[in-house]
Structure 1
Amino acid sequence: MEKLTSNSIVWTAGENSGDYLASRVLPSLSEAFPQMTMEGIGGERMVADGLQSWYSASELSVRGYLEVVRHLPRILKIRHDVIRRTLENRPAAYIGVDAPDFNLAIEEKVRSTGIPVVHMVAPAVWAWRPQRIHQIKRAVDHLLLVFPFEEKIFREAGISCTYIGHPLADLIPIEPDTLGAREKIGLKTVGPVIAILPGSRKDEIKWCAPEFFGAADLVLKSEPTSRFVIPAADAKRKEEILKVLDQFPAVKEASLILDGQSHTAMEASDAILVASGTATLEAALYKKPLVIGYKMPALSAMLILSKGQTKWIGLPNILAQKSLVPECVQMFCSPEILSSHLLHALEPKRQEALKAIFTDIHHSLLRPTAQLTTEAIEKVLKR
């Protein structure tokens, strides 16, 4: 096998969540290996932490079978280029962050040439496509896990792994400062505050936002003093959100649109309406009652749901192994159903009950993530 270089580590993080998770550990790794150049695919946070970007993480932000097919030529071109650059540069390690559909094929190819591979955020084989565990075993030298129950699954499969805790648990305070968050964004209100997060992708806003804002419109009819806080992932998403809001003038009038600041929006809220994904965990860590909604093209949904291995799609429910919060998917993601659940979420007894459970979940996810990640990667490099 060819000799590895000692002056670079390649990262590939897909989507906003991957960019965020990687940014929590990249500085620690840079400090441990000051001679290393960090390069690859990442978002704004990773670039701010010193990543030399080949492509933006947003290039990989595609969900659903039909949507992937539409973007497949572009994604395959990026994948081919990442493999080419990695094999030419012979880095000290390749670190894939989440995005298993993109990363695993690259990791398998890269590892076969002798380049050490670490993967952060294990593919959810416990939720769907359990056969993928065989590809993981071929593709990675070490797996970094963000949920405690995953250790048993992967160790029994003979995959080297470390539970590093979830970076979000370290970032988000155990006790949220709701009033402080409202002051930070200049939100003054006498009624309930609901954070609405319809997703960070174009397709999510197209499919989820009309249902979410329709629900907000119905909530206003029951609670006229309600205010809504809506974080937009970037300028493009903000434009798309505002276009949908134009169909709901009463909601638009009662809404505060934020540039980013999704965590502040959640912390400022009394309840959260959120698209399925990492944001469901963030909502729980902020100890807020949440309602999960998701809608996508029917064929994509049918194919994805048919491969499901768990009763739930929301991380709070999966971690608790019970239905803590409502999940409204496809035909159930309607304004009428969502608004009914939101009004229930605003009830004080509901808020207190969930706060206690979410606090226990928070403590279970707290670990010195950056330190554990750096130590695990150091061991792989020394091997």
Structure 2
Amino acid sequence: MASSAELAIALVAGEPSGDLLAARLLSGLRPLRPQARLHGIGGKRMAEYGFVSDWPMEKLAVRGLFEVLAHYREIKGIQNALCARLLEERPAAFIGVDAPDFNLGLEARLKEAGIPTMHFISPSIWAWRRGRIKKIARAVSHMLVVFPFEEAIYRSAGIPATYVGHPLAEVIPIQPDVAAARAALGLEGTAAVVAILPGSRMSELKYNSVAFVGAARLLAAREPGMRFVAPMAGEGQRRYFESLLADAGLSDVPLQIIDGQSHTAMAAADAVLVASGTATLEVALFKKPMVIAYKMLAASWQLMRHMGYQPWVGLPNILAREFLVPELLQHAATPEAIADALWRQLEDASGRRRLTQRFTEMHHALLRDTARVSAQAVLDMIAARQGRL
């Protein structure tokens, strides 16, 4: 194998959750190859391990079919430029972290050129668009999966796969320190705390924020002492969120907006209102009751609502194969319906105990030494490739 000093590995993560996942892999890889050059597209957490982002990660953080179309030319330009750079450099491996719409196309071009490709976190082929597994087979040399049932799906399709556990199961403690989290946010006292997480993408903020904070206003009217906290992924997201609330006449809602600290907000909360996505799994690992709500551009919704193979969109419900927590989507995600669902969870002590037990079982099932297992899979793939040269 090439020495650490000669080794170059490229990665692409397209949003904060991908940045967190990639950083976990890099935490295992960097000690094994301390001089390796790591670059591509990523965020602050990856940078902690010496990763250099060639473009801002925020350029890729667009969600929704029609929203992506509006940014298609810029995103495609970044993909083409990065591909040309990597084809010239010929790194020892390319690792796409989630962001399948961007990464799979890039991976296919690199794999065809003889560069080993790895994809970290399977697209939800078990939930919708199953035909993508053929595209994945053309694009991916090795798949890293984070749910136990996924390994067999890929191996049966002839795609090497390794179950590495879910990195979040290691990052989040089995028993979160609620008191410490509330003290860190200045939320001492006995009042109920609700965390509001409308999403990290600008498009998610655009469609979710007013309904989410509108629900908070209704809950505050029912229980005036209730506290609300909303973590924002960045300064741009915070400014946009505040402008949306001002335009909707919601600036008077007693909402504490914080920079980052989403895990602290989850740990501090009695219940969480969360947009669909990886954050729903994070909330489950913090053992919190939640309401999953999501809104998007109407045209995107009409297309996507017919593509699903199962009745759930939230990861906790998908893993449990039942509606453990409520899901309110598109027209159902009204402030009134959201507020009612949250109120029921806050009032149902026995239901909260059942959720804590189910989420604890889920946590243990997803717990592996992800950093070590994923890093070793990368190095094994590189070694196998170089052994064939």
Q: TM-score band (shorter)? A: over 0.9
| One-letter code aligned to 2:216 | A
Q: In the alignment, what sits opposite 1:363?
A: 364
CA apart distance, 1:310: 1.7
Written as runs of structure 1 = structure 2, the 5 A alignment for 1:67-216 is 67-216=67-216
Q: In the alignment, what sits opposite 2:289?
A: 289
Q: In the alignment, what sits opposite 1:316?
A: 316
Q: Which moved more, 1:291-300 or 1:235-244?
A: 235-244
Contact 1:6–1:91 (Cα < 8 Å) also in 2? no
Contact 1:14–1:57 (Cα < 8 Å) also in 2? yes
* CA distance in 1 between partners of 2:245 and 2:176 (Å): 29
SS of 1:362's equivalent in the other structure is helix
Percent sequence identity over aligned pairs: 48
* CA distance in 2 between partners of 1:249 and 1:237 (Å): 16
Number of aligned pairs? 377
* CA distance in 1 between partners of 2:118 and 2:235 (Å): 33
| One-letter code aligned to 2:324 | L
* CA distance in 2 between partners of 1:249 and 1:40 (Å): 39
Q: In the alignment, what sits opposite 2:387?
A: none
TM-score computed with the length of structure 1 as normaliser: 0.96
Q: In the alignment, what sits opposite 1:63?
A: 63
| One-letter code aligned to 1:289 | P
Say yes or no: does 1:248 pair with 2:250. Answer: yes
Gaps of 5+ in 2: 385-389
* CA distance in 1 between partners of 2:361 and 2:131 (Å): 31
CA apart distance, 1:249: 4.1
Gaps of 5+ in 1: none
* CA distance in 1 between partners of 2:337 and 2:273 (Å): 12
Contact 1:197–1:231 (Cα < 8 Å) also in 2? yes
Cα displacement string for residues 108-148 of structure 1 (whole angstroms, at most 9, x for unaligned residues): 11011111111100111001110000111111111000111
Q: In the alignment, what sits opposite 1:343?
A: 343
* CA distance in 2 between partners of 1:371 and 1:28 (Å): 5
Contact 1:344–1:350 (Cα < 8 Å) also in 2? no
* CA distance in 2 between partners of 1:195 and 1:306 (Å): 31
CA apart distance, 1:345: 1.2
* CA distance in 2 between partners of 1:239 and 1:375 (Å): 41
Q: In the alignment, what sits opposite 1:224?
A: 224
* CA distance in 2 between partners of 1:248 and 1:382 (Å): 56
CA apart distance, 1:6: 4.0
Cα displacement string for residues 358-379 of structure 1 (whole angstroms, at most 9, x for unaligned residues): 0000000000000100111111
* CA distance in 2 between partners of 1:256 and 1:249 (Å): 11
| One-letter code aligned to 2:241 | I
SS of 2:79's equivalent in the other structure is helix
Q: In the alignment, what sits opposite 2:266?
A: 266
Contact 1:189–1:227 (Cα < 8 Å) also in 2? no
* CA distance in 2 between partners of 1:35 and 1:173 (Å): 31
CA apart distance, 1:21: 0.4
CA apart distance, 1:250: 4.1
* CA distance in 1 between partners of 2:28 and 2:354 (Å): 37
| One-letter code aligned to 2:366 | L
Contact 2:242–2:251 (Cα < 8 Å) also in 1? no
CA apart distance, 1:24: 1.0
Contact 2:235–2:259 (Cα < 8 Å) also in 1? yes
SS of 2:175's equivalent in the other structure is coil
| One-letter code aligned to 1:356 | Q
* CA distance in 2 between partners of 1:10 and 1:287 (Å): 35
Q: In the alignment, what sits opposite 1:14?
A: 14
| One-letter code aligned to 2:319 | L
CA apart distance, 1:75: 0.4
* CA distance in 1 between partners of 2:234 and 2:214 (Å): 22
* CA distance in 2 between partners of 1:31 and 1:188 (Å): 40
Q: In the alignment, what sits opposite 2:279?
A: 279
Q: In the alignment, what sits opposite 1:372?
A: 373
| One-letter code aligned to 1:369 | T
Runs of 4+ in 1 over 3 A off after TM superposition: none
| One-letter code aligned to 2:137 | K
CA apart distance, 1:186: 1.5
